[in-house]
Amino acid sequence: MAPPISAWSVYILRCADGSLYTGVARDLDKRLSQHNGHLAGGPRYTSGRRPVELLWSATAPDRSSAQQREAAIKKLGRAAKLRLVGGAGS
């Protein structure tokens, strides 16, 4: 029997320079390790802005739903993103 398929996550990070990064991942812990340089494969944007801190995440049932939510969040301005995460780091 195959292991259960995990849900996708949509997340917002705060980088060391104060900028916000939005992404999607199937394994959020592994992805955070990549963003912080503990594992290979992190995106170029966060590689020069470490360490990063997880501010917010939500699950999505599939990749398409996660990417749609990510796209909607990326269209928001900084203030709206901070409201979404509950004002963290405002």
pLDDT above 70 covers a percentage of the chain that reads 89
CATH code: domain of residue 15? 3.40.1440.10
pLDDT in tens, 34-60: 999 899 888 889 999 999 999 999 999
Query: How many domains is the chain built from?
Result: 1
Torsion of CA 77, 61, 33, 76, to 10 degrees: 0
In a domain, residue 73? The reply is yes
Q: In what order do the strands lie in the sheet with 53-60?
A: 20-25, 8-14, 53-60
Residue-number span of the structural domain to which 44 is assigned: 8-84
Structure tokens belonging to residue 69: 């939510």
Predicted model pTM? 0.88
Q: Please state, in angstroms and rounded to a whole number, the distance separating the CA atoms of residues 42 and 34.
A: 4
| pLDDT at residue 88 is higher than 60 | no
Q: Which one, of 20, 24, 30, 29, lies nearest residue 11 by Cα? A: 24
In a domain, residue 1? The reply is no
Banded pLDDT at 73 (limits 50, 70, 90): very high
pLDDT at 22: 97
